[in-house]
Each structure stands twice: as C-alpha cells, then as structure tokens.
C-alpha cells in the first residue's frame, strides 16, 4: 500500500532506502568522505540533493556544507554516486554496488587515470603513501612467495606493491608531483580554472583553505597572509567556493570532465550543469567531428575494399 | 353553490374565453377548476387506523368547488385507478386531489391515471396525509384528522388554480460515457457498444481493468482473475464502438440528460499512442526502476513501462517523476518514433447523452491503526499486498515469502475487519473481505497442506450469496483454524529477533486468546475512491456520509442518481464483489439504453419561466441557481435570463431570488401558494 521507505541521518552517514519486497535500493552518503562540494547537487537530475551552508561559529574554522537528500524526489539512479569526485555516495541494489545507469550505458563513468609504477619505488616509498592528502595509497612489500612483509628494514629481495582506493580518488596529482619521482602517474578528470582575487579577500580570512580537502591546492602566502590557489593540485570540486564569504573573491570554473564514451541526454544535462553551456557544446562538437571522421574512414575503408 | 359560480365568473372570464379553443385539454374548460374530485386513501390501515377517513371525506365534500369525494383502500392499485378514471368521467371532474402518501413515489402514477381520463396530468394534486398526519400523530387520532383536513383543504385550494401544462421534449445524443474502466465499467461499456451505441471509456490510470486485474484468483470458484477479465479488456480495446480515453481526467460536465458536454484532459504519457506498438524495447533500454503501484510497491517497473503485461490499451508511459532523460528509449524506439518528451496535456470535448459513473474504490492504509503494526513490523501485510505475493505474475513469481528474510512462513494469521466495522474509522462492512480471506486461506492450505498453519481471526463470517457458504465449509474442511474474537482489544506484537509475530484477541466471553505466527495479513477496509468528492461536484450528484455515491432510491432504483441521465455501477455506489459489480454494470447499461433509445427526452414542465417584459438581466438568478440552469444572455438589445429546461430542477430558488418578480414556477405561482397559505390559515371551512 504505502511505499516503505527509510531515512537515517547519523554523524557518520546519511542513508536512504526503498524497502521493496523483492528489491532493496539503498543510498549511503559517507559524511567523512563528503567535502560539501555541491557536485552531487548539480549532478542530480531530480533536484533531490540540497547543499546546506553551515554557519561559521565565531572563533572557529569554517565548516563544510552539509548535504541533505529528499527521499520523495530521489530515484536511486546513482548519478550522484558516479560523479562524486571523492566517492562519498554509494547507491546499492540488494547490497551490491551495481549502477543500472552505467550498465545500460545511459551514463558514463569518470575516467580515473591513476598509474602506479612500483618498480620506481625506493625503500622509503612510504613517501608516496604519505603524499596522499586523503590517505588512499597503501604501499606494502611482498616477499618472493607473495606474502606481505611487515616492518620492512631492507627492501632487498622484496617487491613493492602500491594499492590505491581509486573509487575515492579525486585525482589531485599531489602524489605524482610531491611524492617520489616517477612512481605515480595521475591524470585529472575534472579540469577547469580557479582564481582568487586577494584584494577582495577579507583580512585574515582563510575559510576556503579550511575546507579544502587537498593539501596544497590552496596555500597561505607568507607575504600578504592571503590564500592563493595552486592549479597543479586543484580538483575543481568547488567546496571552497561555497564557503567564500565575499561574492566574486573566489572564481571557479569547470571546463571539462573526462569520462568514458557515452551518448545520453542525462549526461549532457549533468555536464551542462557542472560545467557551462560552452563545456557541453565543446563536447558535442568533439563528438560530431569524431563521428564525421569515423564515417569518412568507413567510406575510405569501403573504397579500399572495392579497389582491392 | 351560488358563491362558486360568482367566484368563477368574477375571477376568470377573460381567461375562460382564451382557453376555450385549446384542443387537447378536453376537460379543462377553465383555468380555474370548478369541478374538483377528492379521493381519500385508507392505505390499508396506515392511514385509516389513525385518521377518520369517513369524516375527512365528508369534510372534503363541503369544500368549495368539490363536486365529488370518496374514500377507497389503495387508489394506487389497478382497481383504484380504474375507479378514479370512472369518477372523473362520470362527474366531469376537471381537477383531481388524492389524499394519501408522499408524491415522491406515486405522483407519476396518478398523473398517468388522470391522463387516461383525458385530463391534463398537471391538473392533479396530492395531499400527503400519511407521512404528514397518520404516521407522525399516531397517538392523537383526532388532531391527526384535523391536520389531514387542513392538508386536504390546502390541496383543494391549490388544485382550483392548477394550470394545464405541456411536457417539454429534448433531443438525445446517442452516445454514452463510462467513467472508470474497472470490471463494472467494462461490462457497461461492452453491453452498450453491442447495442450499437458509441461509448467513451474514460480511465484515470494507464490501463483499464481496475482492481480485478490485480487479483490472483476469484472466489468461490478460484478462477484466475486476469484470465477472465483480460479477454474482456481486450474486447473493450478492440470494439469498433468503444473509444478508450485512458490516463485522463474528467474536468467538467455541462448540460443535461441527452445533451451532456464533457471536458476531458488527457495527461501526457510522453509516448505517441498511435506510434507505440507495445513492443517493450524501450523498457529494456531504460536504466531506471521505480516502485510499481500495481504491485502494491512490492515490485518495480521501469521509468518507461506499462503497469502489467495485460494492460489495455498497450501504450507505454514515461513517468517523469523518475525519468532521468537519458533518451535511451528514444534510441531503442528508433524508426517507430513513438516517444515525444515534449508532449503536453491535451483537452478534448465529447458530447454524450448519458453518463455511467463506475470509479470503484480505494483501499484503506492501516498505518494509523497502531495495534496492527503495519509498516512497523516487516511481516505484516495488507490483503492486496498478499494478493500480489501469491500471484504467479507478481513480484515474487507467486512465492509467499516474508519481507524480513525471504523465507516461506510456516504459520500465517488473517485478521478481519481492519478499519471497517469500526465507528471511529469506517462504520460499514467492506463486504468482500471475508470471502477473499477464505480464498487466501484455502489457496494456502490446499497448496502447502500441513506445512502451513492458517488462522483466521474474525468476528462475523459473512458468506452470503451463491456458493459462498459452501466455500466457507471448504475452508473449514481444509484445516483453516477460525478464531472468533471481539473487534476490540486486538493487537499484534513482534519478536525483534526472529521478526515473528503474535496475534492477541479476546473471545466473546472475554477470555484472552493468542497465536504465534510468522506472517500476518490484514483485511483492510475498502474505502470510497479519493476522486469521488471532486467527481460528485462535477456531476452535481451526491455522496453519502461514508463517501459513496447516493442512488436515487436504494431498493428500486439502485443504479440511478438524482440527476437524470447519470447512472452508477460497481463499488462506487457501495462496496460489492465482482458478480454484483458486473450485474450492476449491465443494469446501468440497460438504463442508459432506455434513455438513448427514446426519440426525445420528456421533461416535466415544472421549470422556471421568465417574463421577458419585466426581466432586467440583473443576473441575481444566475448566481442563485445551483444547477447552472439559468443564464443571462443578450437577446436583441436586451439582457434576458434564459432557462436551460433540461437542467432546471424546478426548485424555485431563482423565482424567489428575482428582485423584479420576473420568474414564475408553473403550478407553484405566487397566486397558488398564497391560496394554499390562505387555506391553511382559514380556521373553519366554509360551507
């Protein structure tokens, strides 16, 4: 008769559920991983996700925005899950992380191009591990028999193994640039531009820096004690922009999202909301030129066959 | 006697001249009655045991212009009517008064009777001395007789001034609309279509079929429900005389019997009906699923889909509440090009001669009945949810399993009268729950035998109608345990570990009784459709206190409404099971045919008449009329009130509201009513 639904909000997680007799749809927001960046809010096709700014308490650091999801609007499509740069949202069907939108090719996946070359690891490859601002890299040493060796003192005869929790990685490239050279290779999937106008920044304000999850993406200048961005590390998630108290002091624009090939109206809309109409038109142009190239190639091949 | 002559000649000479040449009004030479006959009914003993009918008859003879008075036992009988006809002819009566019961039932009978004696039917008047005198003053016969005399005196005073009228004839559109495509509506539509009438079936949801299409089996024969109804649904879809307007709402109904104008909004399906082949390839491509109402939310359907495979019409619908607009369905549909995301609601207007209302019922959500634990406890289901579980085409493919662990229960309790027979919720009996519970119990017991323990917690088992009691016996023989409990003090508790349930009740002699079970099924009340109040407003028909449509007369006119040309069928008139709904659908169809087959619709001429000389076009009448029957229109250079005769119910509100005194009600004119008032105020009768 009535649809049985559940919504649970705890300190660590927000859980939404459709309890059907034969199926169980569950959405979990891991509040510890969520940085309050608003990407899910833009991505949601049903406008079910709200980003609520948290008031800054006097004398305390700025707090990241809070996410709330409307159970009446959510359709458990999983688009937020796909697009969350930090992998903070998980949509599961009967406990399995299967996304129908991805399976049925109506939504792409983000391309997290992360490569780890363990051969380049030196004994103290722990630096790679420590470089990650989100603790997603784990380096372990394997004995020739494949067993993990604890408390390594000498790397002799051992093989290093690098594990990265890819689904949570926003691809900030800190490990590549700040870690040991040549070990990690990362390509960003969110591209864009960030700029801060220091003249507009209030004296002593470092709200953006306080909420930025990527160490180094924003830094406090020693000269004027103002915050500046470092494009090398920024993942363009926008958490900083949301807490900035001055309109126009911090500008952030996403221009491109790297994803698996797709043909989907839902993706076009999400892309438009996340980047700009220019972003989407660029992508569509690329797509159409690709198509033209393919069709020309096809014809040429055909001709070649005919002549052969 | 001389007085009468003077009165007559004094008051009406010019009119007398004027009316003389009138052809058919054989006996009514004058506008004022000069030869009145009074017939006093004894009504067995219903009147005669209280009222002195001899005294009353004698009194009637003394009234002015009364030339004949007699009392008889049933004037409404064939013999009584013959006697009246004879008396009219013999005494050359020109007005007739029957002092008897309420005109509501018998006025038409006596009107037909007097017209047999070539008297205009509107020269007849009825004095109600039964409901107004003998019934309500049983212990004071003398006073009752005096009151009856007053009533008769009033009737005679009015009868003297009655005018002959001519019935109004209206044209009839030979089409019909059935609102609601459940089993009652389907039968009504098929019957009418087979008779050759064009039928529009307006259905609110995506498919016709109603609740019957969602059921597994039907009692008491255990026939497969959709196997019986499915072919009928297809027949409706294919019949050349039937047009299904599904996923649509009735917005407005104007007009009157024979000439209804219905405005309907077709809601957007985002699928072009004529291009959709029902192949379902779009559904395969769709990545989104949402809870399916047709499965009572136990299962899911795709954002583009049909609620179930047998849907009629087989047109897919996109639910934009869930669709993410990836357009994969557009790709899948391909060259058929049936999908249109820009579809807008479309309004259409159809003209019909009659309307059948068959909108069915809703189910009560027992969430607010805390003792049931519904929605709190995993393994408490409603009957319709259980129906979808046991159905082979249902979300669990016919496996009855618990929600908590997906296991087959070894014991199950059915609880009767949940929300119904409860004066705080729904006072009435839902009528079919006992039988469907027996059906569920028998199905479980015959399928799983001793592997399942089945309890039925009931208060009264209502298994009337053909074959039902025998089915009850079958249930008892199959080993179902029937536990008779009071409706009060029932409750259900859950073991939080095992999610098993305990049902508690109290026997008739106050002893507590309980059963430990693994699943509970509630026979929740069936309730009036949530759309009934709005439709009642649109159609100007009434709902009873429970919210079901009111029939014209519960015994002998169960499918009529008070509005001519609008009929009822199925559970919207009162809860009923399938055979009864089917029969009522056919009954309503027959009544519609009786209307549509007439060359013209005859309306009683008791409708408002506007005096065009005095009407100022002020529109007061327009807002006073509850039936939208009077409207001010421009006639020449003047604004004039015009009466739509088919809509006017003759209530007279416009007449009393009119500041110019320009509206009169035939045979309820000021003069006639004043004469009645004059008569009742007259303490002693003139001799």
In this predicted structure, which of A295-299, B342-346, B452-456 has the lowest mean pLDDT?
A295-299
CA-wise closest residue to B376 among B404, B418, B334, B412: B404
Answer yes or no: do A134 and A181 share one domain: yes
Q: Among A2, A20, A264, whose Cβ lies nearest the Cβ of B299?
A: A20
In A, which residues are within 8 Å of B523 by CB distance?
A: none
The Cα B22–Cα B370 span in angstroms is 74
Measured distance CA(B497)–CA(B514) in Å, rounded = 19
The CATH number of domain B604-666 is 3.40.50.410: no
Q: Tell whether A263 is within 8 A of chain B (Cβ).
A: yes
Handedness of CA A209, A212, A213, A219 (dihedral sign): negative
- Residues A232, A296: one domain? no
SS3 A306: helix
Q: Check if B362-527 and B604-666 are the same fold.
A: no
Interchain contact, B403 vs A101, CB within 8 Å = no
In whole angstroms, give the CA distance from residue B225 to residue B212. 6
Whether the predicted pLDDT of A135 surpasses 70? yes
Same domain, A208 and A246: yes
Q: Give the tens place of pLDDT for each residue, B552-595.
A: 988 989 999 988 899 999 999 999 999 999 999 999 999 999 99
* Residue from the list B287, B291, B327 with its beta carbon closest to the beta carbon of A18: B291
**What's the CATH number of domain B362-527, 3.50.50.60, 3.60.110.10, 3.40.605.10, 3.40.630.10?**
3.50.50.60
Query: How far is the alpha carbon of A21 from chain B, nearest alpha carbon, in Å?
Result: 5
B175-361+563-596 carries CATH number 3.40.50.10470: no
Report the 10 Å Cβ neighbour count for A219. Answer: 15
CA distance B55 to B57: 5
pTM of this structure: 0.82
Residue B511 C-beta-side C-alpha neighbours within 13 Å = 4
Would you kindly state where each structural domain of chain B is located, as residue ranges?
2-165, 175-361+563-596, 362-527, 604-666
Is B384 in the A-facing interface, judged by CB distances under 8 Å?
A: yes
- Residue B23, classified by CB atoms within 10 Å of its CB into exposed (0-12), middle (13-18) or buried (19+), is exposed
Q: Is residue A271 in a domain?
A: no
A261-277 burial code (b ≥16 CB/10 A, e <16): ebebbbbbbbbbbbbee
With respect to residue A155, please indicate whether it lies within any of the assigned structural domains.
Answer: yes
Higher pLDDT residue, A20 or B40?
Answer: B40
Q: Which residues of A touch B289 (CB under 8 A)?
A: 23, 100
Q: Total structural domains in chain A? A: 4
Predicted ipTM of the assembly: 0.88
User: Helical H runs in B608-669?
Assistant: 620-624, 653-657
State mean pLDDT over A98-110. Answer: 93
Handedness of CA B510, B516, B517, B518 (dihedral sign): positive
From A170, A187, A204, give the residue that closes a domain.
Answer: A187
Question: What would the two tokens of residue B5 be?
Answer: 């002559």
CB burial of residue B158 (10 Å; 0-12, 13-18, 19+): buried
Confidence of residue A148 (pLDDT cuts 50, 70, 90): confident
Most confident segment among A211-215, A268-272, B353-357: B353-357
Using the 3D structure, point to which of A140, A166, A187 is the last residue of a domain. A187
List, in sequence order, every beta strand (DSSP E) within A98-203: 113-116, 137-142, 148-149, 159-164, 184-187, 190-196
- Does A113 contact chain B (CB < 8 Å)? no
- Statement to judge: residues A181 and A194 lie in one domain: no
Q: Which of residues 30-69 of A touch B (CB under 8 A)?
A: 45-46
A248 C-beta neighbours (distance < 10 Å), count:
8
Q: Which residue of A has its CA nearest to B400?
A: A21
The helix (H) or strand (E) run that includes residue B84 is helix B78-91
Domain with A196, as residue range(s), is 190-257
Task: Identify which of B363, B366, B403 has the shortest CB distance to residue A21.
Answer: B403
Looking at the structure, do residues A91 and A27 belong to the same domain, yes or no? yes
Asked whether residue A140 is domain-assigned, the answer is: yes
Burial of A12 (C-beta count, 10 Å sphere; 0-12/13-18/19+): exposed
Q: Are residues A136 and A196 in the same domain?
A: no
Identify all chain B residues contacting A262, using CB atoms and an 8 Å cutoff: none
Identify the band that residue B118 occupies on the pLDDT scale cut at 50, 70 and 90: very high
The size of the A-B interface in CB pairs under 8 A is 91
- Residue contact A21–B298, C-beta within 8 A: yes
Q: Give the pLDDT confidence score for residue A120 in this predicted structure.
A: 80
Q: Give the one of A2, A21, A263 whose C-beta lies nearest to B299's C-beta.
A: A21
Kindly report the average pLDDT of chain B as a whole number.
92
Q: Tell me whether residues A22 and B287 touch, CB distance under 8 A.
A: no
Q: What mean pLDDT is predicted for residues A237-245?
A: 92
* Cβ contact A227:A201 at 8 Å: yes
Bridge partners (DSSP) of residue B415 are: B457, B522
**3-class SS at B513?**
strand
Q: Is residue A265 part of a domain?
A: no
Given a cut of 90, is residue A143 above it in pLDDT? no
Decide if A20 and B285 are in contact by the 8 Å CB cutoff: no
Instruction: Provide the token pair at B441.
Output: 């119990």
Question: From the list B326, B365, B389, which residue is nearest A2 (CB)?
Answer: B365
Task: Say yes or no to pLDDT of A236 above 80.
Answer: yes
Residue A222 clears pLDDT 50, i.e. is over it: yes
Considering only alpha carbons, which residue of chain B is nearest residue A108? B326
List of chain B residues whose C-beta atoms are within 8 Å of the C-beta of residue A79: 324
Chain B residues touching A107 at Cβ < 8 A: 287, 324, 326
- When the candidates are 3.30.70, 3.40.30, 3.40.50, 1.10.132, the CATH number that belongs to B2-165 is 3.40.50
- Give the CATH number of the domain where residue A87 resides: 3.30.70.20
Please tell me which residue of chain A has the smallest CA distance to B293: A1
Confidence of residue B13 (pLDDT cuts 50, 70, 90): very low
Residues from chain A that touch B300, judged by Cβ atoms under 8 A, are 20, 22-23
B326 interfaces chain A, CB cutoff of 8 Å = yes
Best mutation site among B324, B386, B404, B409 for testing chain A: the one with the most A CBs within 10 Å?
A: B324
Which residues in chain B are contacts of A103 at CB distance < 8 A? 287
**Phi and psi (nearest 5°) for B223?**
-75, 150
> B389 and chain A: CB distance < 8 Å anywhere?
yes
């Amino acid at each position: 008769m009535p649809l049985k639904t559940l919504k649970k909000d705890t300190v660590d997680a927000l859980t939404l559920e459709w309890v059907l007799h034969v199926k169980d749809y569950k959405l979990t927001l891991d509040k510890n991983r969520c940085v309050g960046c608003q990407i899910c809010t833009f991505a949601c096709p049903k406008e079910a996700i709200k980003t609520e700014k948290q008031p800054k308490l006097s004398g305390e650091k700025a707090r990241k925005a809070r996410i709330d999801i409307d159970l009446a609007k959510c359709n458990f499509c999983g688009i937020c899950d796909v697009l969350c740069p930090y992998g903070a949202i998980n949509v599961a069907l009967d406990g399995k992380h299967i996304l129908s939108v991805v399976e049925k090719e109506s939504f792409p996946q983000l391309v997290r191009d992360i490569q780890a070359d363990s051969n380049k690891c030196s004994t103290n490859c722990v630096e790679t591990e420590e470089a990650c601002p989100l603790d997603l890299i784990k380096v372990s040493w394997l004995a020739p028999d494949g067993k993990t060796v604890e408390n390594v003192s000498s790397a002799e005869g051992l093989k290093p193994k690098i594990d990265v929790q890819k689904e949570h990685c926003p691809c900030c490239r800190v490990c590549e640039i700040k870690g040991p050279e040549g070990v990690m290779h990362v390509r960003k999937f969110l591209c864009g531009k960030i700029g801060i106008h220091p003249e507009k920044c209030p004296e002593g304000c470092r709200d953006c820096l306080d909420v930025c999850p990527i160490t180094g993406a924003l830094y406090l200048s020693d000269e004027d004690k103002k915050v500046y961005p470092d494009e090398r590390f920024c993942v363009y998630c926008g958490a900083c922009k949301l807490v900035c108290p001055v309109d126009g002091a911090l500008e952030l624009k996403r221009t491109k999202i790297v994803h698996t090939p797709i043909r989907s109206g839902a993706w076009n809309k999400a892309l438009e909301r996340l980047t700009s109409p220019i972003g989407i038109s660029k992508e569509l142009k690329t797509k159409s030129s690709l198509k033209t190239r393919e069709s020309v190639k096809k014809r040429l091949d055909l001709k070649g066959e005919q002549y052969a | 006697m001389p007085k009468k002559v003077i009165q007559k000649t004094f008051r009406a000479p010019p009119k007398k001249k004027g009316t003389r040449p009138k052809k058919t009004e054989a006996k009514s030479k004058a506008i004022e009655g000069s030869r009145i006959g009074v017939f006093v009914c004894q009504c067995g003993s219903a009147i005669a045991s209280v009222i002195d009918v001899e005294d009353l008859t004698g009194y009637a003879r003394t009234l002015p212009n009364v030339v004949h008075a007699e009392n008889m036992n049933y004037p409404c009988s064939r013999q009584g009517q013959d006697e009246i006809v004879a008396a009219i002819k013999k005494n050359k009566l020109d007005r007739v008064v029957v002092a008897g019961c309420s005109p509501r039932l018998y006025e038409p009978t006596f009107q037909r009777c007097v017209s047999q004696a070539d008297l205009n039917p509107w020269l007849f008047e009825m004095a109600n001395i039964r409901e107004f005198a003998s019934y309500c003053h049983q212990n004071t016969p003398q006073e009752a007789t005096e009151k009856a005399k007053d009533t008769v005196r009033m009737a005679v005073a009015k009868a003297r001034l009655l005018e002959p009228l001519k019935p109004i004839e209206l044209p009839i559109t030979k089409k019909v609309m059935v609102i609601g495509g459940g089993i009652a509506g389907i039968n009504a539509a098929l019957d009418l279509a087979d008779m050759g009438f064009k039928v529009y079936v307006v259905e609110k949801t995506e498919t016709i079929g109603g609740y019957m299409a969602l059921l597994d089996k039907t009692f008491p024969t255990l026939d497969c429900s959709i196997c019986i109804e499915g072919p009928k649904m297809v027949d409706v879809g294919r019949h050349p005389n039937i047009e299904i307007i599904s996923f649509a709402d009735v917005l407005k109904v104007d007009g009157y019997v024979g000439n209804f104008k219905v405005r309907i909004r077709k809601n957007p399906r985002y699928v072009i009906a004529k291009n959709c082949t029902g192949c379902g390839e779009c559904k395969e491509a769709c990545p989104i699923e949402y809870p399916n109402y047709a499965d009572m939310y136990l299962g899911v359907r795709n954002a583009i889909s049909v609620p179930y495979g047998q849907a009629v019409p087989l047109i897919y619908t996109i639910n934009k509440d869930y669709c993410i607009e990836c357009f994969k369905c557009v790709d899948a549909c391909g060259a058929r090009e049936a999908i249109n995301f820009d579809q807008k609601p479309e309004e259409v207007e159809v003209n019909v001669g009659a309307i059948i209302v068959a909108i069915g019922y809703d189910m009560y959500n027992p969430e607010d009945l805390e003792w049931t634990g519904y929605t709190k406890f995993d393994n408490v289901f409603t009957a319709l949810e259980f129906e979808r579980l046991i159905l082979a085409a249902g979300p669990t493919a016919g496996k009855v399993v618990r929600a908590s662990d997906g296991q087959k229960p070894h014991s199950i309790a059915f609880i009767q009268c949940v929300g119904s027979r409860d004066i705080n919720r729904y006072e009435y009996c839902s009528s079919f729950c006992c039988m469907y519970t027996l059906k569920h119990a028998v199905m479980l017991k015959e399928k799983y035998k001793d592997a399942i323990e089945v309890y039925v917690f009931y208060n009264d088992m209502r298994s009337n109608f053909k074959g039902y009691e025998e089915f009850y016996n079958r249930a008892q023989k199959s080993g179902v345990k029937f536990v008779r409990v009071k409706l009060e003090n029932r409750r259900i508790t859950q073991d939080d570990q095992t999610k098993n349930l305990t049902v508690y009740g109290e026997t008739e002699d106050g002893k507590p009784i309980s059963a430990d079970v693994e699943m509970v099924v509630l026979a929740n009340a069936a309730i009036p459709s949530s759309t009934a109040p709005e439709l009642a407003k649109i159609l100007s028909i009434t709902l009873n206190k429970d919210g079901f449509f009111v029939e014209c007369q519960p015994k002998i006119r169960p499918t009529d409404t008070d509005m001519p040309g609008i009929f009822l069928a199925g559970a919207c008139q009162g809860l009923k099971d399938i055979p009864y709904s089917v029969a009522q659908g056919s009954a309503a169809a027959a009544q519609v045919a009786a209307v549509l087959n007439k060359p013209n619709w005859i309306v009683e001429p008791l409708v408002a008449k506007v005096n065009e000389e005095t009407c100022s076009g002020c529109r007061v009448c327009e807002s006073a009329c509850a039936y939208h029957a009077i409207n001010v229109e421009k006639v020449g250079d003047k604004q004039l009130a015009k009466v739509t005769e088919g809509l006017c119910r003759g209530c007279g509100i416009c007449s009393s509201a009119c500041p110019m005194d320009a509206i009169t009600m035939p045979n309820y004119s000021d003069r006639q009513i004043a004469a009645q008032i004059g008569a009742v105020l007259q303490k002693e009768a003139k001799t």
